[in-house]
């Protein structure tokens, strides 16, 4: 198997990765045949997966612009994946020049590619770390250098919590991060759910099985279970809703039906 120049030597390119599969759905080029194969298999059950990913990105951009408009100029994006066009630092810095962004991911390809993209940006950096170890993230020199935790921060957990099993207690990690943030900080979440998918649940479960097979279980939570991540935050209108319904730029009725799969929301820490 040919190893492209951008692939860190340390990674096993015969094992699919969630962030590289996501990159493939978004039309990116930082993925291997093993990732494309898993993506195509998942799409056999749920052909609209790329539409769901595009809805995630569009929601993330609107949420970042909203946070910047509310005066936030620090962004911590955990589970950031492989940078594609219109990433957090581009949106945030366009809305608020000088905005600071730290990306966090545990996929070596995502980290290496982020380092390359951010090389000339003094106000953005990337940390190789895991959502489940919040302290490692918070004490990292990248966060210490760029983020002042005594001032409001926008914490982005976009399309990541559904890859954390209940046994690993994602609620604890999210609460630990919340407790480290200043009042006025915001939490931005999107999460997969069977609710809203324009398919029979049995068929959608085929996609869940593909992720289980590549040892990256996809945990579909209910709206109520997703809402629990916002404990300690006041929901920003319109609350936890299908992504195209959150402060849309264009008419939601023009969106692909798959875009309404799962939920997105923003909360503000009191």
Q: What is the predicted pLDDT for the residue at 73?
A: 98
The band of 1, judged by pLDDT with boundaries at 50, 70 and 90, is low
Instruction: Outline where DSSP puts E strands in the chain.
Output: 74-78, 100-105, 124-128, 154-158, 186-191, 233-235, 263-269
The position carrying tokens 């946070």 is 67
Q: Indicate the average pLDDT of the chain.
A: 95
Residues 219 and 233: their CA atoms lie apart, in Å, by 23
Parse the chain into domains and list their residue ranges.
49-198+220-269
Q: What is the predicted pLDDT for the residue at 5?
A: 76
pLDDT in tens, 27-76: 998 899 999 999 999 999 999 999 999 999 999 999 999 999 999 999 99
* 223 in Cβ contact with 194 (< 8 Å): no
- Tell me yes or no: is domain 49-198+220-269 CATH 1.10.760.10: no
Question: What share of the chain in percent tops pLDDT 90?
Answer: 87
- Identify the residue with better confidence: 215 or 102: 102
Q: What is the predicted pLDDT for the residue at 66?
A: 98
Cis bond leading into 188, ω under 30°? no
* 42 in Cβ contact with 207 (< 8 Å): yes
pLDDT in tens, 141-163: 999 999 999 999 999 999 999 99
């Amino acid at each position: 198997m040919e190893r492209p120049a951008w692939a860190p030597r340390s990674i096993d390119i015969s094992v699919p990765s969630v962030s590289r599969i996501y990159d493939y759905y978004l039309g990116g080029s930082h993925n291997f045949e093993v990732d494309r194969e898993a993506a195509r298999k998942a799409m056999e059950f749920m052909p609209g997966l790329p539409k769901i990913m595009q809805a995630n990105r569009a929601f993330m951009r609107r949420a970042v612009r909203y946070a910047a408009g509310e005066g936030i100029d620090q962004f911590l994006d955990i589970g950031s994946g492989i940078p594609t066009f219109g990433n957090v630092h581009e949106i945030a810095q366009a809305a608020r020049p000088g905005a600071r962004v730290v990306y966090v991911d545990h996929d070596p390809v995502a980290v290496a590619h982020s380092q390359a993209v951010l090389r000339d940006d003094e106000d953005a950096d990337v940390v190789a770390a895991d959502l489940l170890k919040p302290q490692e993230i918070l004490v990292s020199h990248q966060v210490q250098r760029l983020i002042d935790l005594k001032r409001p921060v926008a914490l982005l957990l976009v399309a990541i919590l559904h890859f954390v099993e209940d046994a690993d207690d994602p609620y604890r990690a999210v609460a630990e991060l919340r407790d480290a943030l200043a009042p006025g900080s915001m939490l931005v979440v999107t999460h997969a759910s069977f609710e809203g998918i324009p398919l029979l649940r049995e068929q959608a479960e085929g996609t869940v099985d593909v992720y289980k097979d590549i040892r990256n279980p996809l945990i579909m939570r209910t709206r109520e279970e997703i809402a629990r991540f916002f404990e300690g935050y006041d929901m920003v209108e319109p609350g936890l809703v299908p992504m195209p319904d959150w402060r849309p730029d264009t008419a939601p009725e023009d969106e692909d039906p798959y875009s309404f799969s799962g939920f997105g929301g923003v909360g503000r820490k009191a």
